[in-house]
Amino acid sequence: MLKSDLVRRIRAQNPLLLFRDVETIVDAIFNEITATMARGDRVELRGFGTFSVKVREARTGRNPTTGMLVSVPKKAHPHFKPGKEMKERLNRREV
């Protein structure tokens, strides 16, 4: 699903809202999640999941082509852990 698809679906469920207003709301939510993670904090959305930042420390790697040692800098990566409700909905068995 693309962000524009999400905006269209929310707009369809809430016909009193303007498309640009829904787009502004979705952008604000995503920007706030990103800003919170950039500060090193985690974002917990109950029933959906938790966004956090995992830091990979600097290390020495190896160039697979030449075999030479290279320095790999410290990096921060986003991490998502799905919530219990999401896991249950994804693993629901159809009878």
List the chain pLDDT tens, one digit each, 95 residues: 999 999 999 999 999 999 999 999 999 999 999 999 999 999 999 989 999 999 999 999 999 999 999 999 999 999 999 999 999 999 987 65
At residue 23, what is the residue type?
E
Report CA-CA distances (Å) from 62 to 1, 57, 72: 37, 16, 9
Give the pLDDT score at 94.
Answer: 67
Assess contact for 58 and 76: CB atoms under 8 A. Answer: no
Helices 19-38 and 3-13 sit at what angle, rounded to 10 degrees?
A: 130
Classify the C-alpha dihedral 65-69-71-75 as positive or negative. Answer: positive
The one-letter amino acid at 9: R
**The pLDDT value given to residue 92:** 86
